[in-house]
Each structure stands twice: as C-alpha cells, then as structure tokens.
Chain A
Amino acid sequence: MGTIIIVGITVGLIYGLVAIGYSLIWQTMGLVHFAQGDLLMIGGFLVLTFINAGFSSPLLVCILVFLAMGLIGAFIEQVAYRPIPREKHVTRIICTLGVGLILRNLAVLLWGTSSRGLPENFFPGAALALGEVSIQPVYYWTFIIGCTLVLGLVLFLYRTKYGVAMRLTAYNPALAELMGVNSKLFQSAAFMLAIGITGVAGMLISPIAFVHYNMGLSFGVKGFTAAIIGGLNSLPGSLVGGIVLGLSEVFFGKYLSGYVDVLAFTVMILVLIFKPRGLLGKVEAEKI
C-alpha cells in the first residue's frame, strides 16, 4: 500500500503540473490549450539536448528547460494565439491542435522517431528506505522538484505584486487595464509560465516513461482530465486532480490492470456528476 501511495503521488504530481498548465492558460486566456501534452514531449527532448551539450546537474538542466520552454511559449503565443480574437473560441482550440501537430512533426525532424530515456543516474543519490518501501532517486527528486515548482508558483502568485497583477488579469482583464496592468503582457507571461512548468514536467517523466514524439497525446489527455477533476478554475485543484488521477492509475492498475483507463475516466465522470466545477472548483456568480 505504501508503494502505491508514493508512486501514485509522484506520477500524479507530474499530471498535476500539466494540469496546472491547462488551468493557468484557461484562467488567463480563456483557452483550453490542447497542445500541452506535446509541449511536455518537447520539454523531455530538450532535456536530452541540454544533457548532450554537457550540462549534468539536474537542477541546472531544470532551470534551463524552464527558461527555454518559456521562450518557446512566448513565440507560440505571439504567433499562433495572439492574432485570433478571444471570442473565436473554436478557432483558437483548432489552433492549439494545429500547434500540437506541428510540434510532433518538428520533434521527428529534430530528434527522430526513436524513444529516448535519460542517462542512468541523472538523478543522483541512493534509494531511500521508508519502512518496507524503497524509493528510487528518480521518485524523490520528482517529488522535490515538483513541490518546489508548485510552491514557487504559489509564492509568486500570492506574495509578489506581479503575481497579483497576473491573478487580476485572469479574473478580469478589463478591470486589470483600469488598474494600470498591461493585461496582454501578463497573459503572455502566464502562458510562458505555464509552458515552462509543462517543460519541467517533461523532464520529470522522461526517466520513467521515455520520450518519443507521440507521447504527448496520452499526457495531454491525462493532464486535461486531472484539470477537470480538480476544477479548471482552480490551481490547487489541478494539483489535487493530478494526484487523484495518479493514485487511481496505480491503484486500479494493481487490481484491474486491463481497465485502468476506463476506471480513471469513470472517476472523472463521477466527480463531474457530483461536483461539476471539479473537486476544488469555485462556483462563479456574475452580478448583472
């Protein structure tokens, strides 16, 4: 049971990071960003590129991937999403699918069709013993990096004035403009932040699931599911949703391995029936 919880939480943390990306982009741009999974894949491949360039410290690579993905995010937002007016919802969503397609094919051109994993011992350290459970370095590093990222995000959003400005832009862009906040700038910044986080998630999944150009689909769907379970409107909800999904996958995988996906999606449907806004979603009322 202990192993189920530890592994479930770790994998769930990764789904949670992707879900946070969805939630952040949804809240600030009103867009469901279906290219999240493919960006996770790009993040994973970028890690390999940095390692091959000679960087071996996981923390340094993590920071580099975060920054690089942020820049990629800025480019994508400017070129693909900014030109489309916010009201054209369907067009924007189709655009995200297009971005995903381009990223997948770009990955084949840049990195080929084979799967790659990280070099052995990329995450240094020995296995940690916790009772009768032995935790491999990759799991506790993922936990540490994931938690740090989430903590950093929370501190940024709630304790810095830029974070407040970003939250205000998410809440009401027009109001933000009135308060002197450049809403377009903060929307871009939020997008870059989301993509940076997704890239780091790619780095965390690559030692255990291996990166290949098609891996984005399953993570994109799982991240979205996690965001829905937790509440698309809630960042902590995304994290909770991710962990719920991770735990379900491992738990159902142990006892009914052929039905994992069916059961995981049933969990999502049940949550939606009883808590349509997600487990931690806020009900929004608009005063007319």
Chain B
Amino acid sequence: MRIKQYVSALLIGLTTVGLVGCSGGADNKTINVGAILSLTGVLAHGGVDARNALQLAVEEINASGGIKGRQVKLLVENTNTDPERTVSGALKLANENKVLAIVGPDNSPTAFAARSQVAEPEHIVIMSVTGSSPKLTEGNPRWFFRGATPAEFQTKSLVQYLVKEKGLKRFAILSDSGITDQIESFTKDLKAMGLEPVATEMFKSGQTNFNGPLLNIKSKNPEAIFFIGYITEGASALTQARNLGVDARFLGSIGIIYDEFIKVAGKSSEGVIASIGFTASNEAADVQKFVTAYKTKYNQDPSHAAAQAYDQVNLIFQAIQNQNLTFDSAKVEQDRVMIRDYLEQVKNYKGITSMISYSPTDHSAYKDVNILEVVNGKWKVIKHSGEAN
C-alpha cells in the first residue's frame, strides 16, 4: 500500500509540473497566432484544409524573415465542430498562450459561440474562415470578423443566375434544421424574382434517411433543389433522390463546396451548382500561386476554407507589420487593440478569395461570388463574380 501511495504522489507531482511547464507559450521572441478549427468533426475537411493553409502562410512569412525580425508561431486548437470546445480552445489560446489574434472557426454555430463568449468579452480579434449566417456580423461586433461570404450574397447570385440565365422557376429547399439563415435568404431572393419555393423540407444533422422529405419534394415537381447542409447528408440526399427518380438539379450551399463532396457523392455530383468566392480552378495568377504552393505541400487542391484562412491570416500579419506592437506578453491587450484597429481600416485588400474591406461598422468581408458547377468530377467556374446577368 505504501508503494502505491508513493507512486501516486509522484505521478500527480510530475503531471502538475508538466502542466505548469507546458502552459503559456508567449516567448518574447516569437509572435503567437492562434487558430480554432475542426481537425475532427463534421467540418473536419474544411478545418484541416484551413489549418494547412495557415501553416503554409506561416512558413512563407517565416522564410522571408518573419515579421519585424520575429518568427511567427501557429497554435491550433481542435474544435471538433463543437461550440463548447471552440470556446474552451479559444480561451486557452487567448489567456494561456497569449496569442495576438485567432483565425477560425469554421461554421456558424461555432462562430456564434466564439464571437459572444470569447472575441467580444475578452477583446481579441477572431476571424472566422467560413460561417455564412448573416446574424454573425449583426449588432456591430467590434472584435469578431467574418472571413466568408454571408448567406445573403451567396444565395442572391445563385438565384439570379438560375432564374435569369437558366429560366428556372420551380425551386425546392431541403435544409438542415440547424441552419435556418440560408433558407430565409434563399426564399427572400426567390420572392424578389416573383417566385416562391414549391417545397421546404427539413432534416436533422446526422440524418441518414431522406426518403420521406424527398418523396414530398418529388410530388411537387421542382426543377432544382437547394440543399443546405454538410457533405455526408448532401451526398446521401443526392443519392437517395436519384434512387427515387427525382431528377431535379441539385444546388449547393457553402457546406458542400469541397472536393470531398465530389469524392463522396461520386457520379451523382455531376451538374451540382453552387456559389462561392474562391475556387482552385480560378485562373488568376495570385490564386494559382497559392493553389500550386498548397498542392505541392499537401497533394490536393485547396478548398475555399483554406483560401479564406490564408487571406485572414495574411491580413493579421499585415496588421502586425504595420502597427507599433509592444510584443510584450504583459501588454498583449494593447497589441490586440492595435490589430483590431488596423483591420477595421482595411480597404480593398486583394485577397485570393475576393476584395476585402472592413470598417468599424462592417465586419463582413466577401461580397462577390462566382457560380460553380461540378463538371467532369471537378468544381468549375461557370460564371465569374462581377459579370452582368
């Protein structure tokens, strides 16, 4: 019994020392930037993509000498696409690791949590890499920045394209019941064209049997079905729809605009149309430079989550470069204010995703989108942003 007690005491002692020793990473020589992303979870493909892009950006800047002679260190916390873990990860980065700013997270529910429980109360900049709910930037947040296209701009371009150029009139909506903002946005855009959705069906995240809602949609005979949700559900719904003889074209929302979707859904993904700012097939020179660098390092094309993360973190680097930071971990609050102030003055930053501008009253960036279609197993731009309808 004595030995057991000694061993236990020793283990507890070592663990405590280990924990104390490990916490806090603000070394006065490095610049700490944090990230809260889904390395596992429903949005793992997006989160891992974003993390890869962040690592790439950090390597690029460190290779060119760092910022003001200091090397940048990236600290990543896994959210598992879960709001509670997002908050705890962000708090750890802010309070223990004393990061200057945080990139992430990667969907609206986790972004809401990060905004209201970390960014605004702790006064630290958090820039989300995706997250389309318009409500994320309502109410004039001063610390939370959106790094993705809000839903209302995604759906507007999509609806205008389909109605004006393709002449479609009958649209159905099949949506994850946890993501209501896109339904509102899409319906509003249809109404602006004088149309109403012929059916609006809901399902729950993780649902595997879509036959019921699809049968109802089938009976209303739509020409297109706007699917709002994530990849697995999208692929299941698409496959089940085709099995039921529902031939209507599938429209995607941001949740499925990943190469992963094409991989999972296979041939049935041909012809799916969606709208987004970034796509790897965009021929512009700066986009291709990023795509090539990403592909060389990670052996796959970057998704929009990666591109948006890359733009966000580069903006943060610019803020650090151009402001007079103290780089003193005891004065990190002052440094964070300077970063936030810089970001709010950004005008027409040419990112690889789109032109980014922020202001003290507008923390939502990306407003122009491209229309994409899955052609021959790849997402292809069929209409560039800014082109007239």
CB distance B240 to A134 under 8 Å? no
B235 on interface, CB distance cutoff 8 Å? yes
CA distance A241 to B40 in the complex (A): 34
Checking A3, A114, A260 against B215 with a beta-carbon cut-off of 8 angstroms, the contacting residue is A3
B227 to chain A, nearest CB (A): 13
- In the bound complex, what is the Cα–Cα distance between A255 and B199 (angstroms)? 11
CB-defined contacts of B236 to chain A, threshold 8 Å: 208-210
Closest to B199 in A: A257
Q: 1/0 per position for B42-63, CB-CB distance to A under 8 A? A: 1011000000000000000000
Also in contact, A257 and B264, with CB within 8 A (given A117-B239, A139-B243, A210-B236): no
Output the nearest chain A residue to B268 by Cβ-Cβ distance: A120
Nearest CB in chain A to that of B231: its residue: A115
Q: Say whether A33 faces chain B, with CB atoms less than 8 Å apart.
A: no
Q: Return the contact of A117 from the options B201, B211, B235, B260 (Cβ within 8 A).
A: B235
Tell me, yes or no, whether B266 is within 8 Å of chain A by CB. Answer: yes
Q: Is A93 an interface residue (CB 8 A)?
A: no
Q: Which of B204, B235, B240 contacts A115 (CB 8 A)?
A: B235
Q: Which residues of B contact A11 (CB under 8 A)?
A: 209, 211
What separation, in Å, do the CA atoms of A4 and B266 have in the docked complex?
Answer: 26
Q: Is B289 an interface residue (CB 8 A)?
A: no
Q: A208-B240, A210-B264, A250-B215 are in contact. Are A114 and B45 (CB under 8 A)?
A: yes
B177 with A208: CB separation less than 8 A? no
The contact string, 1 if C-beta is below 8 Å from chain B, for chain A 88-116, is 00000000000000000000100001111
Residue B109 CB within 8 A of the other chain: no
* Interface size of A as a range: 35 or more
Judge whether A215 is part of the interface by a CB distance below 8 angstroms: yes
Do B44 and A113 touch across chains, with their CB atoms under 8 A apart? yes
Closest CB in chain B relative to A29 CB, distance in Å:
28
Which residues of A (210-255) have their CB < 8 Å from a CB of B? 210, 212, 214-215, 217-219, 246, 249-255
In the complex, are the beta carbons of B211 and A115 less than 8 A apart? Answer: no
Contacting residues of chain A (146-175) with chain B, CB-CB under 8 angstroms: none
Please report the C-alpha to C-alpha distance between residue A219 and residue B208 in the assembled complex, in whole angstroms.
9
The reply on A207 being an interface residue by CB < 8 A is yes
**In the complex, which residues of chain A have a beta carbon less than 8 angstroms from the beta carbon of B206?**
214-215, 217-218
Which residues of B have CB within 8 Å of A134? 245
> Does B232 sit at the interface, judged by CB under 8 A?
yes
Q: Which residues of the other chain, B, contact A209 by a CB distance below 8 angstroms?
A: 208-209, 236
> Does B263 interact with chain A (Cβ within 8 Å)?
yes
Residue of B nearest to A218 (CB): B206
The answer to whether A252 and B212 have CB atoms under 8 Å apart is yes
Other-chain residue from B212, B232, B265 in contact with A250 (beta carbon distance below 8 A): B212
Q: How far is the CA of A249 from the CA of B40 in the complex (A)?
A: 29
B244 within 8 A of A: yes
B326 adjacent to chain A (CB < 8 Å): no
Cα distance A139–B244 in the bound complex, in angstroms:
10
Report B78 CB to chain A, min CB distance, Å: 11
The contact string, 1 if C-beta is below 8 Å from chain A, for chain B 219-252, is 0000000000001100110011001110000000
Interface residue from A7, A108, A115, A249 paired with B264 (Cβ < 8 Å): A115
B239 to chain A: which residues have CB within 8 Å? 117, 207-208, 210
Query: Shortest CB–CB separation between residue A14 and chain B, in angstroms?
Result: 9
A33-92 at interface with B (beta carbon < 8 Å): none
B260 — which chain A residues lie within 8 A by C-beta?
114
Contact A114 B264, beta carbon cutoff 8 Å: yes
Instruction: Let me know if B213 is at the binding interface, CB within 8 A.
Output: yes
Q: Is the CB of B211 within 8 A of A120?
A: no
Q: B212 touching A136 by the CB < 8 A rule? A: no
A218 to B236, CA, bound (A): 15
Tell me if B213 and A257 are in contact (CB < 8 A): yes
The distance in angstroms between the C-alpha atoms of A167 and B216, with both chains bound, is 44
Contact A117 B213 (CB under 8 A): no
Chain A min CB distance to B244 (Å): 7
* Interface hub of B177, B202, B232 (most chain A Cβ within 10 A): B232
Q: Provide a sorted-by-A list of 15 A–B residue pairs whose CB atoms are within 8 angstroms.
A: A4-B215, A113-B40, A114-B45, A117-B266, A119-B266, A215-B208, A246-B209, A250-B209, A250-B211, A253-B216, A254-B215, A254-B216, A257-B201, A257-B212, A260-B207
Q: A208-B208, A208-B239, A253-B211 are in contact. List 16 more A-B contacts (CB 8 A).
A: A3-B211, A3-B215, A4-B211, A8-B211, A117-B265, A209-B209, A210-B235, A210-B239, A215-B232, A254-B212, A255-B212, A257-B203, A257-B213, A258-B202, A260-B203, A261-B204
Residue positions of A touching B, CB distance < 8 A: 3-4, 7-8, 11, 108, 113-117, 119-120, 134, 136, 138-139, 205, 207-210, 212, 214-215, 217-219, 246, 249-255, 257-258, 260-261
Residues of B within 8 A of A (CB): 40-42, 44-45, 177, 201-204, 206-213, 215-216, 231-232, 235-236, 239-240, 243-245, 260, 263-267
